[in-house]
Structure 1
Amino acid sequence: MSYDRYVAICQPLHYGTLLGSRACVHMAAAAWGSGFLTALLHTANTFSLPVCQGNVLDQFFCEIPQILKLSCSHSYLREVGLLVVSVCLSFGCLVFIVVSYVQIFRAVLRIPSEQGRHKAFSTCLPHLAVVSLFLSTAVFAHLKPPSISSPYLDLVVTVLYSVLPPAVNPLIYSMRNKELKDAIRRLISWTFSKKVSKVPLD
C-alpha cells in the first residue's frame, strides 16, 4: 500500500509501468509467501514444544507467548529466536513504509492546492495509523518482559493487534467514498429523528 501511494503521488507518470500486473503479482506473492512461511515455522515449532504445565491458556486467543508459558523445556528458545526474526522482518517493513511516507509527505507538502494536499493526506494517514497500531502492539505482545504480563493486559494487547486493524481497515478506506458518507449521515439523522419522536411530551 505504501509503495502504491508512493508511486501514485511521487511518480504518477510511471504508475502504469512501475505497478503493472506483473509487479503486483510479485508483491502479493512475496507478502503471502513470507506470511505463510513464518506461520508454518511458528506452528511447527510450537507443536514440537513439550507442555508440562497443563493445557489451559489464560485467555481465549491461542497466542505464541501464552503457549510458551506452558512449556517446561529450554527448546522454547527456538521459538523466541523465531519471534526475534519475525520482529526484525516486521521492523524492516516498517522502515520501508516510513521511508515511503516521508517521500510522500515531502511531495505532498509541495502541492500548491490545499484540496490536493488534503486528498493525499486523507489517503495516506489512515494506512500509516493502522500499520503503526498493528506493528507496535504486536511487537509489544511478543517481546514484553514476563514481569509486566497479566491476563487482562495480554487480552487487550492481542485485541489491539489481531482484531482492531482488520476491523477498522474497511471502514477507514471506505469512509473516503462519498456515497458511503451520505448513507451514514442519512442513517444517523434517521436514528436521531426516531429517538426524538419517541420522547414523551409533557
Structure 2
Amino acid sequence: MSELKIAVVPVTPFQQNCSIIWDETTKKGAVIDPGGDLPRILAALEELEVNAEKIVLTHGHIDHAAGAAELAETLKVPVEGPHEADKFLLDNLVADGERTGIPGRPVTPNRWLNEGDTVDIGGFPFEVLHVPGHTPGHIVLVYKPGSFAVVGDTLFQRSVGRTDFPYGDHDTLIAGIKSKLLPLGDNVTILPGHGSASTIGTEKRTNPYIR
C-alpha cells in the first residue's frame, strides 16, 4: 500500500525548506525547491533510498531554484514548474546569486505549470494552484487525499510571503491565500518555504495577515 513520506532538507543561508516527497513503497519521488547545498540534498536522497524522478519549483527565487539546473543534470531528471510568469527570475539566477552569495544557474523547466494542472510525485497526484503576489508565477502543490500542501513562500506560520519586490503585490497574495488556500480545509497541513509546518486551521485562527 502506498504511503506518502516527506523529508525537509534546510538549504542556503536562508534556511529554505527543500523537501523530498516520495512513496515509501516504491521509493519514487521528487525534490521540491533545491535552492542550493546539493551535496546535502544528494546525501538525503541516498540515506532515504529515494529515486527522485523529477524536480519541482514553487517559484523562481534564488533560495528555491539556484540548484535546480545542476541537480537535474546530476539526477538526469526533468524540472517542472513554476508558472511561466516567473521565467524572468529563473533567467536571472546568476545575477541574483552574485547579489546574495548563493551560486545559481539559469534553469528552463521542461514543463511550466498552470492552475488546475496535476503533478505526479511518486504516484501521488498533486493539484497545482497559481498563487501570485510573492512572485508572479508562484504555485502551490496540493495533495487533497492526504490533506497536505507545499505552499512555498505564500503562507507561513503566523506570516505571509514578502511582497516588497518591484514585482510583488500584497493584495494579490492575500486574495489568493483567502480564495485558494483557506478553502482547502482547516485540517490541511501546510509546508512553507521557511520555518515550521502548520495547518490551515491554525493560520486562520492565529495569522494576523489573514484573520
- The structure showing larger relative contact order (alpha-carbon pairs under 8 Å, at least 6 residues apart) is 1
Greater strand content: 2
Shorter-chain TM-score tier: under 0.3
Higher fraction of helix = 1
Calculate the TM-score normalised by the size of structure 2. Answer: 0.23
Q: Larger C-alpha radius of gyration, 1 or 2? A: 1
